Structures are given as structure tokens and as C-alpha cells.
Amino acid sequence: MSKWVYRFGDGAAEGRADMKNLLGGKGANLAEMASLGLPVPPGLTITTEVCTYYYANGRTYPDTLESEVNQAVAAIEKSVGARFGDEENPLLVSVRSGARVSMPGMMDTVLNLGLNDKTVEALAKQSDNARFAWDSYRRFIQMYSDVVLGVDHYHFEELIELHKEEKGVDLDTELDAEDWRQIAEGFKAKAQEELGYPFPQDVKEQLWGAIGAVFSSWHIERAKVYRKLNNIPEDWGTAVNVQAMVFGNMGETSATGVAFTRNPSTGDKEYYGEYLIDAQGEDVVAGIRTPQYLTKMAREEAGATAPSMEESMPAVFGQLADVFDKLERHYCDMQDIEFTVQHGKLWMLQTRSGKRTAKAALKIAVDMAAEGLIDEKTAVLRVEPGALDQLLHPTLDPDAPRDIFTRGLPASPGAASGIVVFDADTAEEMAKEGKAVILCRVETSPEDIHGMHAAKGILTARGGMTSHAAVVARGMGRPCVSGAGQLRIDAKNGVMSATGREVKAGDTITIDGASGEVMVGEVKTLQPELAGDFATLMKWADTYRKLKVRTNADTPHDTQTAREFGAEGIGLCRTEHMFFEGERIVAVREMILADDLEGRKSALAKLLPMQRSDFEEIFKIMRGLPVTIRLLDPPLHEFLPREEDEFEDVAKSIGADVEHLKRRAAELHEFNPMLGHRGCRLGITYPEIYEMQARAIFEAAITVEQKTGDTVVPEIMIPLVATRKELETLRAYVETVAEEVFTETGHRVEYLVGTMIELPRAAICADRIAVAADFFSFGTNDLTQTTIGISRDDAGRFLDQYVKQDIFAQDPFVSIDQEGVGELVKMGAERGRSTKPDLKLGICGEHGGDPASVEFCHRTGLDYVSCSPYRVPIARLAAAQAALKG
């Protein structure tokens, strides 16, 4: 038979800190503190399994729950020496929710439960403080009515205001016991009026009402949204904690407060917190009175006058400081603590690991390791990899004023200021003149790449978090705000407007890619600090991880950035981005328009030296490390103009007939280009393209080896392979070119030929494809598109709703869909290695920089992940954590 209720108090407990899944965070830590001998009011925890039972059984409870609760309440009564509902010596309790992790929107707390018209009198007598008793009662009626019975709290606040008006006073403190008694009566009447039945006087009814309210609040909208945002499963459930009340509002020797054992913002080793004398817990949070500092030093630094707790209650503060140290030593982590002082006695109400900024997380982890509190491994596990993103980009100075123009999606982190330009060419020109520019487009396309690269930041009016602009900007490490829905861009007239204001080309704006805000004018930014704690922690991480971390980089600049961030090679160099720049696009279009093989070859001959010099630069920067180059992937029509008015310009620039150009564009048009004539299909139908690229790679590798003396090992990657025969055919072309170049130059280089696994068929047939492959790189972007059948460019229309309705736990383009897409990756890895046990396996694409996906790759036995330069540190840390957790 299940045990549904766990008790704690009097220096002992049935639970432990490691029972969070069962008891929730709060309950488990209360139990732990009780066992540690810390002063914890006695109580009981109803387990999360009851919550699960509750939802699985039409909102009913297990049979034995009531008797278990009754026995536990009896134990509290015995410990406190009071009885629940007793008209002489009543026990009052608090009821709090307690999930594994705290969650806004959940029913938080009902205090003073157990008060009714009889017990309030007893409390007045017992405490010899009628004002306290009636104040407590009216608080209880208000709180219980609000959170349990659903009567909005403004009804009650109104009554207090009316009473104060009648009496002609301004402050609550000016109300006496009789005032509160009258107000309590008014509250009860109001509750009855709203509810249609009287406010419950039966304390058991009160208790079960509060328990039910906690469980019900698990399914309210706000909690669900929070869980969604934070990837907390619906089926975890919440526990309920029932605990004897202690009172911080019993006069000048009573107080209540919250504290962190270190500074959660900076990570500095100093007590950090606030307290209020003669107050109950929610008063600190509510902001009605200004809380006071905990320590003298903090008060002095802030220039505040109200005495700190250290000064006003030195003895209790001393006890508290001891508790802080004890808890930090016990938990080996910074603690976030709630406490109450009742008549000079300290009671601990909560402890938990404290939330912290990325900067603080780093510092605390590194400091604690230095202090010997934790070891390096634990330090590595303490920092959320995703949080590093905040540290790697310039951020807006939080103190600088902001003149908000509009908002969009936080599509790529970092902040940047610059002058507004509306097209890629102008962006490139002005950047060459040394100007900082922000490229503002309705949406971006591959033709904007050079402008995006030249810009300090990108702003788009349309497109989601995985739009072209967002993906490319993240790849480049450029801040980006995408999908600013209110923004109207009129590029022709060089102006954009939002909410009635206009910004013209040449005006300065600032975008914050972390918040999605767009500001008029320049806002001061702070540069990232990559040495110090960051460097230390990354060094530790590198010693533990098994996965190599490479980068996706197409330009020398990105390659350089990635190498500085610790990339161990390039996992994906997309050659098509190189096709759009300057002169090249002209040659590319000539090639596409050529009527025959000869025409194509002559256009390709123009591209060869340009591609070769790109590769030379990249090989030089990455020297000594592997570089994976993907041969041409996108369908050819991507290189032709789209808009009617562009055709004439393009026709002129390449010296082609505009009708011919249009006809060719129409011929190449595809209904579903994602599933079209692209990837290795281009190599099969136009071998000359891949041959040119292979030649450029080999010639560049040989030049760099000869010039630098370093070994260059190009890894040539064939995209979109579905069958072994495709890879065999194209591999043969590459090998032929290699031998030609080796013969011509009298110099050989080592090289690998492998393939992307980015189609379900490739994963399924991986054992056969592996015969012709030296390596696999899982292209999980396209694999996600094909496996789930969703186009990344179009998914915006329903993906939000899919995530909201919990159909997808997360956007599958952000974090790999382990159940579906991941299963194919596993299959591909296993089958590939069944043919070639030492097959090199990696992943490229956006998932390579997502911590959960990195962990998945580690578990699946891949050799490396590859991600955009700015996510390299995130991947390094995530890989280390995956290794340590495994």
C-alpha cells in the first residue's frame, strides 16, 4: 500500500532532500532541515503521487489519504501542544503547494488556516493580542476566499478602504482590534454574498478545501504555460505541505524575511536578503512596506537608514547566519531561504537552491570549487549551458535609458546599435565605409546574406524564431529581432513605422536580440567577459566531455570566431553561401542559364578560383583541425531572381536575354523546393558542379599544406543522400578529381568523403550507405522537416499552437524531437556502425548547439556536434554535463 503522507518536525522527518520527486522541493527540504535539527515548525507533506492519482481518477483522493492526514495532524497537535479547531487552544496551519520546482501561478499559500469565529477568540486570548488575532482572521478569510473559493481579493480590499475612510485614517496600522473584527465580519458577509453560502467555519472543511485548491491549481493556465516554457512535464504533479503556523506579525520581536546565502546577481560571497519586522511572509513580497536589509554592509552600501537585521536583532541574526552557513555546507550550493522570527525565536520555513544569473552561476560554481565545497565536476554541472548565451554577446547596459520603438521576437541574442538600412547592398557598402548598420527587412532570403554579414544586427517585420533571418543571424552571431509584427517597412521610400512613429534610413536604432526590443537612438552596451571564471569553467568542462565540438562556419570571420570559442574543427561549411557574394552570383547565374555542358563548365571555371581562395583561408584558420565541406545543396532556382522587377537588372548584369532568364526560372520553379532538385541530386545531374567544388577543395588544401607545412584534412560531405548508389557515384567523381589534382601538383592530401544523413531513408538504409562513407553527419534540420513532415519556413502558422497544446513538448527545430527524429538518428548511428564500427559520426544543424540535443548526441554515441560559433561554448559545457551525468 502506498504511503501518501510524510511527516516532519522536532528534529526528525520521514522525508529527505533527495525525495523531491515525491515530496516536492519545499516538502523535501523542510524534511531535510528538520532532520538537520534546524528549527522547522512541524508539519506534513501530501505526496505528488496523490496529485497524479487525483487527475487520473476524476479528481478524487486515494481511500487512505484522509486517515493518514488525520494522524499526521494529530502529531503536529502533539508537538505544538494545541489542537486543530480547538476552541481553547487552537492549532493554526499554513497550506502550501510544493512541486519539484517552484512555479508561478500555482496556488502558493494559505496562512492561518484553522481560524473561525470561535478559534479567533481563543487566539486573541492565548496571544493576549486581540488585534493580531482579528488581523490574522481577516487575512485568512481574504486569502482563503481568493485562492480556494475564487472570490477576487479586490472585493476585500475595497472593504478595508471603506472602513478606513469611515474611520478617517490612512494606514492599516491605525486600525485596532475592533476595526479588524468588524472588517472580518464584513469579509465573511462579502464572501457569502459572492459565494451564495457562508464562509466555512469547519476547520477540516477549510483544510480539505485548501488541499483541493493546491491540486486544482496544477492545471490552471499560468502554471501550464510556465511548465511549457520551462519544459516541466505535466505529469510531475505537486505536493501539498501543511505546517504549524508561526507568526512574524506578533510585534516588534517578530519578523519575517527572505535571504540568499550569496549574491544571486553577481555571485559574490555575501549574505543577501530582506526582512520586515512585525509582518507575515507575503508582506515582504507584496511591497506595501519597504523591506529592510539583512546586513549592515548591504544597508550602508545602499545608503539606507532603516536598521538592518544584523543591527536590530543581532542575536537572531547570528543564529540565522549560522543556519545559512550550515545549509550551504550541507547542500553545497547557494540557498534561497525563507524564515520567520516569532517573539525572538527563529523558524525556518523554506530552503532551496537559489536562482541566479549566468554570471553568478559561473562565479559561484568556480568559487565553491575553490572553497572545496564542491569538486570540479559538480561545478561543471552547476551552470546551465543555455545561460552562457547571455555572457557571450554584448548586452544592453541595464542602467541606460531606452526609448522603445517596437518589439519583435528575441531571435538571436546580443545587442547592437547602428544606422538603419533597408537593403543588403547598401548595408555592405556602408559597412565598408566603417559604419555600423542595422539591416531592416520585411524578411530575409539567401540573397541578403552579404548584407546580414556586413550588418551589426538584423531586424525583420516577418518570420519566427526559426525564420531565415533568425537562423542565419544565430549562425553568424549577429543579434536579430525577427517578426516585429507592428513594423511597416517601406523600403522604397526609405522609412519604417510602428505605433505611429517613423524611423528613416540613416537614423540610428538599437536592437536587443535577447528581449526583442527595438529602441530609437543608441543605447549603451556592455561587452562580454570571456576570461576569468568563464575560461576556468570551460577548461574544466573540456576535461570531462567525450563529444568533440565543431562549428558551422562558412566564412573566414566565422571560422576565426569559432576557433576563439574553442571549436575543434568545422562540422559544416556550406558552400552555397559563398555563391551569393559579389562577382560570384553572376557566374553562378551564367552556369544555370547555360544551354549545355560546355557553357556550364566555362561558368564554373570562373567560380573555381574564388571557391579555392575561400577554402584556403578557412583551411589556414582551422589548420591542424578537420574541416567538413558540404558540396552545393540548395536548388538552383535559389540563385535566380524572384521579383518581376529584378529580372531586367539581372539579365543585364549577366548579359542574358530577359525572356530566357524568365523561362529558365519558370522551368526551375518547384512546388516543394525542400523536397526538390537539390543536394546530391544536383551532383548526379550536373557532375561538373561537384567536380569544380572538389577541385577547389583539393587545390586549396594542397596550397595550404605547402605554404604552412600543417596537415589539412578536408572532409567532403555529400548532402541529401537517400541511397548507397548516389554516394558511390559521387564519391567516384570526387576520387577522380582528387587523383587528377594530385597528379597535376605532385602532392597528395588525406581526405575523407562522407554524407549527411538528413532523410529518413538514409537513416533506415545507413548500413548500406556506410559502405561508401567515411563519415556521417546527421543533418537534423532537414531530418526534422522530413520525419515530421513540417517545413521550417511554413511551420509558424501552427507550431505555436502545437507547443501550447502540448502536441510538441518543444519546437522540434530548437530541441531535437528525441522520440521521432532522434529514433532515426539512433538507427542511423547503429546501422552505420554495424557496417563500419569506426564510422565517424557527427551532427550539424541548429540542434548541435542545444543542450538537451547535445546530451542526446552524447547518449547516442556520436563523435562530435557542430553548431554556430556563438554556441560552441554552450555545446562544450552541455557535452561535459552529458558525460558527467552519464
Residues classed as catalytic: 468, 844
Choose the binding region for a copy of itself from 188-196, 700-708, 743-751, 781-789 (rule: CB under 8 A).
781-789
Choose the binding region for a copy of itself from 163-171, 380-388, 788-796, 840-848 (rule: CB under 8 A).
788-796
Binding positions for a copy of itself, 243-282, rule CB under 8 A:
none
Cβ closest to a copy of itself, residue 163 vs residue 768: 768
Examine residue 786 and tell whether it contacts a copy of itself (CB under 8 A): yes
Choose the binding region for a copy of itself from 59-67, 242-250, 303-311, 793-801 (rule: CB under 8 A).
793-801
* Interface characters, 819-858, with a copy of itself (x: CB under 8 A): xxx-xx----------------------------------
Among 204, 326, 330, 681, binds a copy of itself (CB under 8 A): 681
Examine residue 677 and tell whether it contacts a copy of itself (CB under 8 A): yes
Residue type, 334: M
Examine residue 141 and tell whether it contacts a copy of itself (CB under 8 A): no
Minimum separation from the CB atom of position 307 to a copy of itself (A)? 56
Q: How far is CA 877 from CA 108, 225, 546, 815, in A?
A: 34, 28, 11, 16
Examine residue 791 and tell whether it contacts a copy of itself (CB under 8 A): yes
Examine residue 723 and tell whether it contacts a copy of itself (CB under 8 A): yes
* Interface characters, 615-654, with a copy of itself (x: CB under 8 A): ----------------------------------------
Rounded distance between C-alpha atoms, residue 631 and residue 679, angstroms: 8
Binding positions for a copy of itself, 737-776, rule CB under 8 A:
758-761, 764-765, 768
Instruction: Name the 3-class secondary structure at 528.
Output: coil
Cβ closest to a copy of itself, residue 42 vs residue 483: 483
Q: How far apart are the first and last CA of the chain?
A: 33
Cβ closest to a copy of itself, residue 117 vs residue 798: 798
Minimum separation from the CB atom of position 476 to a copy of itself (A)? 22
Rounded distance between C-alpha atoms, residue 698 and residue 677, angstroms: 26
Question: CB count, 10 Å around CB of 626?
Answer: 20
Contact 210, 165 (CB under 8 A): no
Cβ closest to a copy of itself, residue 790 vs residue 884: 790
Contact 335, 351 (CB under 8 A): yes
Examine residue 806 and tell whether it contacts a copy of itself (CB under 8 A): yes
Q: Which of 258, 328, 267 is nearest to 293 (CA)?
A: 258
Examine residue 121 and tell whether it contacts a copy of itself (CB under 8 A): no
Rounded distance between C-alpha atoms, residue 150 and residue 213, angstroms: 10
Among 495, 675, 814, 884, binds a copy of itself (CB under 8 A): 675
Choose the binding region for a copy of itself from 330-338, 418-426, 496-504, 672-680 (rule: CB under 8 A).
672-680
Among 62, 497, 676, 833, binds a copy of itself (CB under 8 A): 676
Examine residue 726 and tell whether it contacts a copy of itself (CB under 8 A): yes
Minimum separation from the CB atom of position 438 to a copy of itself (A)? 26
Residues 6 or more apart whose CB falls under 8 angstroms from that of 865 comprise: 547, 548, 549, 550, 571, 842, 843, 847, 848, 849, 853, 854, 857, 875, 879
Computed on alpha carbons and rounded to an integer, the radius of gyration of the chain in Å comes to 33
Cβ closest to a copy of itself, residue 58 vs residue 655: 58
Strand spans (E) along 467-626: 480-482, 488-490, 495-498, 501-504, 508-512, 517-520, 525-526, 548-552, 570-574
Examine residue 801 and tell whether it contacts a copy of itself (CB under 8 A): yes
Examine residue 720 and tell whether it contacts a copy of itself (CB under 8 A): yes
Instruction: Name the 3-class secondary structure at 490.
Output: strand
Among 47, 243, 787, 868, binds a copy of itself (CB under 8 A): 787
Residues paired with residue 347 on neighbouring β-strands, in sequence order: 340
Cβ closest to a copy of itself, residue 289 vs residue 761: 761
Examine residue 788 and tell whether it contacts a copy of itself (CB under 8 A): yes
Contact 569, 552 (CB under 8 A): no
Minimum separation from the CB atom of position 788 to a copy of itself (A)? 5
String of DSSP letters for 321-363: HHHHHHHHHHHTS-EEEEEEEETTEEEEEEEEEPP--HHHHHH
Rounded distance between C-alpha atoms, residue 457 and residue 505, angstroms: 15
Rounded distance between C-alpha atoms, residue 36 and residue 9, angstroms: 10
Examine residue 446 and tell whether it contacts a copy of itself (CB under 8 A): no
Examine residue 807 and tell whether it contacts a copy of itself (CB under 8 A): yes
Minimum separation from the CB atom of position 860 to a copy of itself (A)? 15
Among 520, 684, 814, 852, binds a copy of itself (CB under 8 A): 684
Rounded distance between C-alpha atoms, residue 843 and residue 142, angstroms: 56
Cβ closest to a copy of itself, residue 328 vs residue 846: 846
Contact 640, 634 (CB under 8 A): no
Binding positions for a copy of itself, 548-567, rule CB under 8 A:
none
Alpha helices in 106-220 (DSSP H): 119-127, 130-147, 154-167, 177-195, 203-217
Rounded distance between C-alpha atoms, residue 219 and residue 56, angstroms: 13
Examine residue 201 and tell whether it contacts a copy of itself (CB under 8 A): no
Minimum separation from the CB atom of position 676 to a copy of itself (A)? 4
Minimum separation from the CB atom of position 667 to a copy of itself (A)? 9
Choose the binding region for a copy of itself from 91-99, 379-387, 499-507, 780-788 (rule: CB under 8 A).
780-788
Minimum separation from the CB atom of position 760 to a copy of itself (A)? 4
Examine residue 793 and tell whether it contacts a copy of itself (CB under 8 A): yes
Among 802, 814, 835, 852, binds a copy of itself (CB under 8 A): 802
Among 230, 645, 671, 709, binds a copy of itself (CB under 8 A): 671
Element counts in the chain: helices (H) and strands (E): 36, 34
Residue type, 747: H
Distance of CA 869 to the CA centre of its chain: 18
String of DSSP letters for 565-585: TT--SEEEEEHHHHHSSTTHH
Minimum separation from the CB atom of position 669 to a copy of itself (A)? 9
Residues paired with residue 418 on neighbouring β-strands, in sequence order: 509
Strand 570-574 relative to strand 415-421: parallel, antiparallel, unpaired?
unpaired
Residues 6 or more apart whose CB falls under 8 angstroms from that of 350 comprise: 26, 29, 30, 336, 337, 338
Minimum separation from the CB atom of position 513 to a copy of itself (A)? 24
Cβ closest to a copy of itself, residue 597 vs residue 807: 807
Size of site (CB under 8 A) for a copy of itself = 48
Examine residue 808 and tell whether it contacts a copy of itself (CB under 8 A): yes
Among 357, 729, 745, 835, binds a copy of itself (CB under 8 A): 729
Copy the grid coordinates of residue 731: 564519391
Minimum separation from the CB atom of position 759 to a copy of itself (A)? 4
Minimum separation from the CB atom of position 627 to a copy of itself (A)? 26
Distance of CA 788 to the CA centre of its chain: 23
Residue 311 φ/ψ, nearest 5 degrees: -90, -40
Examine residue 715 and tell whether it contacts a copy of itself (CB under 8 A): no
Choose the binding region for a copy of itself from 393-401, 610-618, 722-730, 868-876 (rule: CB under 8 A).
722-730
3-state helix, strand, coil in the chain (%, to 5): 50, 15, 35
Tell me which residues touch a copy of itself (CB under 8 A).
Answer: 670-677, 681, 684-685, 720, 722-723, 725-726, 729, 758-761, 764-765, 768, 782, 785-791, 793-794, 797-798, 801-802, 805-808, 817, 819-821, 823-824
